[in-house]
Every structure is written in structure tokens, then in C-alpha cells.
Structure 1
């Protein structure tokens, strides 16, 4: 046996069977034990799971899915967060095939696809094959969603072999087959960090809901949602409900993201399982990226939401922000959106570095912001110690990728788009079942615009906003700091130029 350390410096020909390799920043993503006599070992599979840890980064997959939307931006603050325009270009839809995060995301996701394919090709145990099939489907889903093409290399092919490239429709069919195999061979899991039958069903529902986007004749639509696909969404949603997943009760919305969500969440289906002694995919980036330097804990003073998005919440909506026991009383930080005067331990009013009051304002400028501008978001948050200090490591909030509220809203959308629910639920009943416990006023009717808005309020900053906006035909609309509509070709990111240059089967996406 030998231990192989896997790094982002893997050449393109390893992942995509290309002929050359551009120089990349070296980043280690973990190691995997390759044993030719026992290729189905747990260590091989764990190497695939470890590739998920990159999903918790504030950059790459998460940034491509969120900064390009109406709910997140990364303003430059003096000399902070300039980063050669990487965040600004995402929000303004002005990225190019050489954009650093477009390239890095492509590498990270395709490493996941390739490593999962290795396990599937060599494993003899169906449980291991099924878990690897689910993981490959997840990574491939993200590639298809972001880039619209999927290079695929046979793990047993020589390094010199040029891989096939699945178009978007064929890749979607491939993903569905992987997930159907996973669903048939998986059962319950000990925690959200392991693939389960419900996880496969949740991802199947998401794939079928987006299938119209992935099989459209023209990038960016128009989209036609076949009834049989919508019925599949409903079928898988109903299976997950039957398995016992539920919404959090009134006053407990943030329990899905808190430090004890492993034990107390009723609706988290799949993600990264963290414990105090083992934190493979810490969620702390999600609060560090918005916290001001003078808050407890201190942060990076970066990303904000947009005022219009914040204003879409009713003041009574718990999801907008609440004092959270064990957090607010210890360090002054509230769960949810942070706007206005900020407070520290003991209720002390905080100041900026200049000594002026730390007041987060709705107004923000993408190019020239002060350190206090912009509404911050703390959907995940740390667990303060009894004395009010915060240990800036080992935070054990599970990182959530798939959860039940998302599945329910997908079901409501599928019914609205022509699907039939054998249980007789209506979109209105589903949406109000989510809104009412959160303190939001029940709606009298539900339109497509209402449903998109509700998905935003329920799932904000979870990495699904771009996906939703595209499906509803709203991704290219003007938003704050992007005053003009972008072209529909921007619903796909470009294939990184070095990948196109070295794999003749890859064709650059329209518009690039």
C-alpha cells in the first residue's frame, strides 16, 4: 500500500486526460490510501468524502453560487477585499475564462468526480459503491449546474487517453443513474456526514426540478418543465417526509445551523458532520466572512447581503434575526441579519477601528465601502464558552448541504409547475407551513414570484440562490451594484481556458 497526497496541483491530464498542466497554487485537500489488494477499503471512500470539505470555503463553489446573485456581494473596503476584483467580477457578471475562482472550482469538483469514479470502479461492496455514487453525483451535479459540461475519464484508462465529455443532458442522465443506484442500496445513516437513502432522494428531487434547465435547447431558457419530472420531485419529497424528517418548530429555525445541530436538528439530511474533536469541514467561514474586527469573535469584515433582499423579510420573521440563547447573552451577536448598532459582551456598544460607533448600514458600494457598510449575515454562529470567550477552532456545527425545508419548497414548486401530489397538498399549504412557525404572515395565494421569494427567505446563504434564480428566469435581472441586465449566457460559467486548450473534447460555452 502507499499513501498518495492529493493536491490542487494535479495536472489537467490526470483529471481530464488533457495533454498539459498549467501552474497552479498548491493546496492539499487530503490523502487517500490506495491498496491494490483492497481497493474497496473505507480509506478510499473517506478520501472522496474529504473532497466535500472544500464546499465550506467562502470561495469557489459557494462564491460562484452566491456572489452572482441578489443576496450576496463582497465589497472592497479600502485596501481590504480587493483581491484583484475576484469578488466584484462575480457580482457584476463580468468574469472571464481565466477567473481564478472559475478555474479553482472546476478543479475541486472534478477531483471529486474522479476520486469517486476510482472507488466505484474498484470497490466490491455495494454500500461503498452506493456512497461513492452519491458523492460522484453531487460533485457532477455542481459541475453540470455551473459549467454545463462534464469531462469524464475512465479510472483504468491510461494517462494519455483523452476523456469523453458529456453534454448537459447526458450528464444529467448519468447523475440520475448514480443516484438511483445509491437510493436502492443505501439505508439510514448515523449522521448527516454519510450518504443515505434520504440524501439520494433529496438530490434526485433537486436534479429533476432542474432538469428542464439542463436539457433546454438554449442556454438560459426558455424552460419547459415536463409533468413526469415534476411528479418525480413530488415522489422523492414524499419519501423523505415518510422517513420522518420534519421542520423545526416555532422559534427554532436556527437550530439547523447551531453548534448542537448534530443532536437537535429535525430537518438536516446531508452535509459534513463535525464534532469537538474532529472538524473536517468547519462552518466558521460562514460567520468569519462577515464579522467586524471588533466583534466577538473577531472576523474578516467582508461579505454583505443586499438591502432589497433584507427588506423582503417581515420584521416578525424569525429568519430575519433573533437573539439566540447562549450566543447573544454571551457575546452580543444575534443570529440572522445584523444591521444597525452592534453590541459586544455585556451589551457594550461596539466601535469601528476609528472609534466611531459600529453601525452596519444597508447602503454599500461594491468598489468603495467603509468598514461598517453593509448588512451582515450570521446563519451559522460560534458556541461561546461559559466565560464569554470564543475558541476560534474546533467549532462543531454540522455544515448543511441538503435539508428538509428545501425539499418541501421543491415539492411546492413541482406542484405549481404541473405535478400531481397523491397526498393532495397545495403549494399554498406547503409555503404557509414553513412561514407560519417563523412568525411570517400566512399568504392568501402563491405565485411563482412568491415561491422564489420564499425560497430566498428560507434558504439564504446556503448556496442555492443562483440555481433558483436561473430556474425562475431571474438570474440576469439588474440588482444593486449591477444596474444592467446580463446576457443569458451568464447562466453558465466558462470552461477554464487552460482546460479548453488541453482537452479537444471540451468546447467553450456560448458567450465566452
Structure 2
């Protein structure tokens, strides 16, 4: 399988400048300068420009892991897209806490962020940059002539990337400007209804120009990606637009399930499950790639960043954990999980630490407990409070370390959409009145559980709450949890508590406005057309 290369990195190095404004602490790079380079002379050069659109979500600057950042005012590694997706959608939930004290980071797991939070600001700028790069490519690629099917496919891919960025902007910030072309004018504010309608129309329009499922180069999107993103958006339609669209969510999930993608069942390392293969250094070729509908590609030599899978392999390693097992040269001793996630799994043995479970019949319960405490007493600078979680490992199925011999940077690709999510979408939509077959939904859930070595369920076990818990088990630390809890009314309410929710040890309800993040203060200072989200 071929990787789409980040060829344009050397092409644009030194030719893109960080935009400045005396009132700004963080500023995104000026994406319009990208259009000044003549990279549309032929289809091969245009492909390099398309690679930059993809790379805008994977990388953080112009020279590798650090040094010429796209976004100023925040540590460059912190600003990488998937790292911030994890922080905003997992660290704010029962799935994670972090002991680091970087300004703004503890506020996330305490659910006490403000409009000047470095991380919520940087994510807004990162996604705005992705939109700008996409707009630039879409505008300029037409120079090659849209009668060419390959050119139309390129443009459709960029439109998908833009739609994906807007999905996240809509989910995280709700009321953002909707900008579809490069302009010097300050944009007007849009709302979720308008953005939802835009994404829906875009994904349906580009479907025919995208390549069929699993027929594009690895790392590039196809028709199934557009269908899967529609399913995800329809599943959350009640939150986004106040209207149920479970039938549509089920329909598109079913279409993807019936496509060429397949659940990975190849247990390459012979440990009894094929689940861990999804998160190894060779997940672009060990069988996992056939489950990845949309993934960001990382390479320890050619695509270095302190975000991405480098972050996922280093940051959760600490205490007595052996960094070599994770294929890295050291742990960052930061992230671990709460008993809220641990309790989602049934255990067969319990330990003396407040009845903490120490043996599970589900391979997805890959907790590291040696020297770790089940109960969290303190968070700051304490890695031992809370079980560690083994997710990504920078080794292949044979245990060989990734391509970077130093152990600094990881090779694992990060899936943003995979087929397992569609199984869960179908099941939830079926249970919530979206049609389909509950019996089929049970079959899909049991396929996931069989891969993990968990017991099969009966049809009577398939409730909405069970599916939410199954999503927690299957999709842990993949950027879904906050959105899922909001959809189920459990994110801010007192109906479901976890350690240090709201900043107190046993958890508490928080304000309703926490379901969306604030627009950055700096953006509001620049653009008087925008109004801050309520509560901030």
C-alpha cells in the first residue's frame, strides 16, 4: 500500500510566514501565501499540494517536530491536531487525567477552562488553518481542468478535509464563521444549523468524485470516508440541530459496513487478539489498514512531530512501565485513566486496593496496574494515581521498534474513522428507533467483542447505555468520549460522575455551557462580527 507523501514540506519551507498582530498571543500561519507558489503546473505537482492539505492535520510546522511552528504562542507539539483532539475530547472526560501543570492543561480535566485557554485557542486556529489550506487548494486545483477525473478526485478529497474540519469546529465551538473561499473580508458568524447543512451538502456532492471504498492510496480518503462522516454527524444531529436523524445515521453506517472495508481480525503478534494491531507501528500494513477509513500517517523519520502517535506512545508511559516495550526511549509520565473507564470492564479477580479489578476478560482493558493506584487522590505531578493505559506502541507485530532508531518519534498511524465505529453507529441508531435490525446490531457488537475476547451478548442486553459503554471500551482514547457523553446527557450533569469531574475528587456536575468551548478572545478582538458563546 502506498502512502501519500508529505512532498510539499520542502517546497514550502521558508516561504510561509507567521501572521502577526500586536494583541495576539497565538496566531495561525498565513495560509494564503501557500497560493503564491506555482504548484499547479501539472497533476503531479498538484498532488504535492494536496499532500500539504492532509499534512496540515498531522504536522505542526515547516521543518519537522519544532522550530518553525504554524501557530505561535503555544508549545509546537501541543498544537498538533490529534494531540489536541485527545485533550479536548478525552481529557475532559472519565477517560483521562494528566499530571502536567502546563497553563490551561489542568483546567481541561477539571472542566474549568476559560476563553483564554491555550489549548482551546490552539485547536480553533489549527482547524481554521486546515480550512484555509483546503480552500486554497480547492480554488487553485481547478486550473488543471475539472474534466479530468483525477483532478475532480483531488478537489473532492480537499473538500472532505474541509468538511471534516468544520465537523470538529461545529462540535467543539458551535457558532463559527463558515468560509469557503480565500477572502480578505472578516467573515460573519454562522451557527450549527448552517454548518450542519453545509457539511451534509458537501459530503453528498463529492461522493461521486471520490474513489470507491478502499481503492485510493493508503492515507487518502474515498467514498466510504464521506459516508462514514455523514453517519457520525447524523448520529449527533439532535445535539447539533435539535432534530433526530438516526435513520440516516444507520443508513450510511450500513453502506460503509457493506463496502470493501473489513474489521481487522489478523492477530499478527499471536497474543490472542487482533485489537492491539490497530495501534502498532506497522498498522499501515499489518491488516489494520483495511479497517482504517480515514487515518493520519506518521513516520518516525519523515514525518516527525511531538504530537500524533509520538505523543500517544510517550505521554502515557511512566512509573514502572518499560519504555522499550512501547518502542520509545522514555516515558513522559503524564496521562492515565480513571476508574470510570476501568469499571466499564468486567473483572474476574479483585485486588485489595478498594476492590480494584486486576484481571479482565476483554483485551481492550489493557490497563497497567503495577505501582498504580485504582483511586486517584491527587493529580498534579503524580503518575501513580490512576491506572495507566496501554494503547499505542511504536513496535511492529514482531516487536521491532519503529523506524527512528533513537526512539524519539513513532511510526504508528492514527485512525480518525475506522469501521468499528460504523458497527457501533448502526447499533445505537437501531436501538434509538432508526430502523434496521436489532439482531444485526447484536451481531456487529459481538464481532467487536469476539475480537477482544469478551463474552457475546444477547439481544436483550443491547440497550442504549450498553452501547455507550461499548463505545467507551472500543474507542477509548480515540477522540470520541466527550461527544458521546454529550449525546447521552452525561457530560455536564450529575447523573454520571467520575474522579475530579468539576475539579473535586468524587466529581460533581458542571455548568451546561461547558458542552461547547469558547471562541478564542483573540479572534473576537480581531473580528467584531463574532459573539462569544454563552457562559464565557
The TM tier, using the shorter chain, reads 0.7 to 0.9
Assess if the C-alpha contact under 8 Å between 1:65 and 1:466 holds in 2. yes
**Correspondences of 1:356-505 after superposition (within 5 Å):** 359-368=371-380, 370-383=382-395, 391-421=406-436, 425-444=439-458, 445-477=461-493, 478-482=497-501, 483-505=507-529
2:108 aligned with 1:83: no
Distance change >3 Å, CA 34–CA 177, structure 1 → 2: farther
Counterpart Cα distance in 1 of 2:194 and 2:384: 47
Quote the offset at 1:373 in angstroms. 2.6
| Distance in 2 separating the partners of 1:113 and 1:447 | 38
Question: Given the superposition, is the C-alpha separation of residues 364 and 313 from structure 1 closer, same or farther in structure 2, using an over 3 Å criterion?
Answer: same
Query: By how many angstroms is 1:426 displaced?
Result: 4.0
What's the counterpart of residue 211 of structure 1?
237
1:103 Cα deviation from its structure 2 partner: 0.8
Corresponding residue number in structure 2 for 1:128: 154
Render the CA deviation track for 1:274-325: whole Å, top value 9, x for unaligned.
456533665121120111276324110001100231121121101112xxxx
Separation in 2 of the partners of 1:126 and 1:304? 44
The whole-number CA distance in structure 1 between the counterparts of 2:198 and 2:89 is 22
User: Could you tell me which of 272, 297, 313 is aligned with 2:296?
Assistant: 272
Select the residue among 206, 212, 221 that pairs with 1:195. 221
Q: Is the 8 A contact 2:416 2:478 kept in 1?
A: yes
Query: Which residue does the alignment assign to 1:15?
Result: none
Matched, 1:53 2:65: no
After superposition, what is the alpha-carbon deviation per residue over 1:48-72, rounded to whole angstroms, capped at 9, x for unaligned?
1111115866743321111111111
Instruction: Supply the distance in 1 between the matched residues of 2:448 and 2:180 (Cα, whole angstroms).
Output: 44
Name structure 2 gaps, 5 residues minimum. 1-7, 60-78, 143-150, 266-271, 347-359, 502-506
Q: 1:59 to 1:27 in 2, by over 3 A?
A: farther
Aligned residues of 2:492 and 2:510 also touching (Cα < 8 A) = yes
Runs of 5+ consecutive residues of structure 1 not aligned to the other structure: 13-19, 76-80, 217-223, 322-336, 341-358
Alignment partner, residue 364 of structure 2:
319
Distance in 2 separating the partners of 1:459 and 1:440: 15
Shift of 1:368: 4.2
Q: Which residue of 1 aligns with 2:368?
A: 338
Query: Do the aligned partners of 1:409 and 1:431 also contact (CA within 8 Å) in 2?
Result: yes
Q: Which residue of 1 aligns with 2:63?
A: none
Query: TM-score normalized by structure 1?
Result: 0.81
Q: How far is 1:241 from its partner?
A: 2.0
What is the match of residue 44 of structure 1? 49
Match of 2:312 in 1: 286
**Alpha-carbon shift at residue 463 of structure 1 (Å):** 0.7
SS of the residue aligned with 1:429? Answer: helix
Could you tell me whether the CA contact under 8 Å between 2:31 and 2:133 is conserved in 1?
no
Per-residue Cα deviation, 1:365-385 (whole angstroms, up to 9, x for no partner): 454453433211221101179
* CA positional deviation for 1:387: 8.6
**SS of the counterpart of 1:318?**
coil
> Structure 1 residues 27, 339: closer, same or farther in 2, change over 3 A?
farther
Deviation at 1:501, TM superposition (A): 2.3
Q: List per-residue Cα deviations over 1:178-207 (Å, max 9, x = no partner).
A: 212232211144444111111111111111
Measured in 1, the distance between the counterparts of 2:98 and 2:82 equals: 11
- Give TM-score, length-normalised by structure 2: 0.77
SS, match of residue 235 in structure 1 = helix
Cα offset for 1:402?
0.6
Per the alignment, residue 66 of structure 2 pairs with none
Secondary structure in structure 2 of the residue aligned to 1:269: strand
Does 187-196 or 132-141 show the bigger shift?
187-196
Residue 435 of structure 1 and its aligned partner are, at CA, apart by 1.5
- Give the Cα separation in 2 of the matches to 1:142 and 1:388: 33
Task: Give the equivalent residue in structure 1 for 2:68.
Answer: none
Check conservation: 2:28, 2:125, Cα contact below 8 A. no
Of 253-262 and 269-278, more deviation after overlay is shown by: 269-278
The CA distance in 1 between the partners of 2:204 and 2:392, in whole Å, is 32
More displaced 10-residue stretch of structure 1: 87-96 or 246-255: 246-255
Give the alignment of 1:111-122 within 5 angstroms.
111-122=129-140
Of residues 178-187 and 102-111 in structure 1, the stretch that sits farther from structure 2 once superposed is 178-187
- For 2:520 and 2:162, the matched residues in 1 are separated by 21
Pick from 70, 73, 76 the counterpart of residue 97 of structure 2. Answer: 73
- Name the count of aligned residue pairs: 453
Are 2:171 and 1:145 aligned? yes
Change (3 A) 1:383 1:197: same
C-alpha change, 1:155 and 1:27, in structure 2 (3 Å) is closer
Q: Does 2:256 correspond to 1:247?
A: no
Alignment check: 8 A CA contact 1:31 1:47 kept: no
1 CA distance for matches of 2:48 and 2:478? 29
CA RMSD of aligned residues (A): 3.0
Query: How far apart in 2 are the matches of 1:56 and 1:378?
Result: 21
Q: Say which of 301, 315, 325 aligns to 2:333.
A: 301
Distance in structure 2 (CA, Å) of the matches to 1:8 and 1:288: 30
CA deviations 1:232-258 (Å, max 9, x no partner) are 222222222222222233611111111
Find the counterpart in structure 1 of residue 279 from structure 2: 257
* Rounded Cα–Cα distance in structure 2 between residues aligned with 1:58 and 1:376: 20
| Aligned counterparts of 1:412 and 1:387: Cα–Cα separation in 2 | 37
